Amino acid sequence: MFTTPFDGLHKNLGANFENYCGFSLPADYGSPAAESAALYQHCCAFDLSAFARIAVSGSDAPALIHSLFVSRTDNLESGSWTWAIAPDTCGSLLDIVRLCKINASYLILASPRSRKKLLEIIKSISDQNGISDLKIIDNTEKTGMLALYGPAAVNAFRNIVPIDIEDLEIGNCLSISLFMMPITVVRGSFLSLDGIELIAPAAACKLAASAIEKYHKKENITPAGMECLEAALTEASLPIMLTDQLLPQRLPPAAYGLAALLDPKKPQSNCRPTRQLVGLKLQGNAHQHRDLTVQYGGLEIGWTDRVVYSHKLACAYSLAIVDQEMADLSEEVQLTAPNFTMPAEIVPLPLDPTLNPKFFSPK
């Protein structure tokens, strides 16, 4: 397993470690419930070093980016980022990435498990289209990535890191040199929350780690693990984790509720789904069950890759892909694995008790 530049920080703060996509990262710091509460009430610090960071530059970079994504990318301005959809070679969804542009260069921030496939597709597109003036650098193992997420994240970052982010708005990014080290700062998050992300070489990451360790109590920054992050990703109704699986069938991006991100001028955008993304609500403390089928009347109508417990929603829940005609089903369905079955109900997205009070009774 790879260790990250923040490994010492995690150990000093009492992390419980897990193998997360080949990286040794905190699963939690002892209380996932406290971490979840802090994320929505103040801010949490996450080590996102396992997430892919792929730099693309050269005069042919815009042509590659245009071909790589089925989202519109030609209107992305320098100093900003946008969500972009990366399909695989068959047109089904590979990943939902965040695409940053700084000057004439691009930075792709992607989920951990799609990294190698993205690099393969980039090479294939370059070879097939004769794109030659191109520089691709996979910085995932050469840098670290620290994120502060939550309503107080920006103020906390401003108080402990000597980088001027006064003019950095949500959706912005910048590149600076700090102590002769290249630093990228991104305003935003992989969640439906505000945040600040810092991408830097190991030496600069260790400076940031020292600041977190020294000031996290004063600034009310809660260190959080991957369990909290994955639960929050699902609470945000963002199906990043679903894209990591060996899918029972190949599905276009629209099946995941991502039609608004598609560029209608690109051919892959015309695919019409037969299944769609829904929420599932379950009783009890079901946690981290994976690779489940959704059944109704003894027939399979869909699947999901995991069930987690949400302290925010006060229930176990999941994102699932089901047959389109079953998406509004009001009757009970079953989540089935080889050794157990759990009853569940289909709920509308987003998984938000303020928007769907009928389905959720938060604490």
Among positive and negative, which fits the CA dihedral 240, 241, 243, 249?
Answer: negative
Residue 359 pLDDT: 60
Q: Domain extents for the chain? A: 7-51+140-232, 274-363
DSSP structure class, residue 2 = B
CA distance 24 to 296: 39
Q: Where are the beta strands (DSSP E) in 111-194?
A: 135-138, 143-149, 173-178, 181-187
DSSP structure class, residue 222 = E
135-185 pLDDT, tens per residue? 999 999 999 999 999 999 999 999 999 999 999 999 999 999 888 899 999
| Adjacency order of strands within the sheet including 195-201 | 173-178, 181-187, 195-201, 143-149, 43-47, 221-223
CA distance 244 to 269: 21
- Fold match between 7-51+140-232 and 274-363? no
CATH annotation of 274-363:
2.40.30.110
Closest CA to 103 of 77, 83, 81, 82: 77
Residue 317 pLDDT: 86
The DSSP bridge partners found for residue 102 are 105
Cis check for the bond before 151: say yes or no (omega within 30 of 0). no
Closest CA to 40 of 214, 176, 225, 193: 193
Residue with tokens 């008790």: 353
Judged by DSSP in three states, 184 sits in strand
CA distance 157 to 169: 14
CATH annotation of 7-51+140-232:
3.30.1360.120
Closest CA to 329 of 284, 280, 266, 258: 280
Residue 23 pLDDT: 96
Closest CA to 186 of 136, 137, 149, 233: 149
The mean predicted confidence, pLDDT, of the chain is 87
| pLDDT-flagged residues of the chain (< 70) | 240-257, 259, 267-273, 284-290, 352-363
Q: What is the DSSP string of 97-126?
A: EEEEEETTEEEEEE-GGGHHHHHHHHHHHH
CA distance 23 to 45: 17
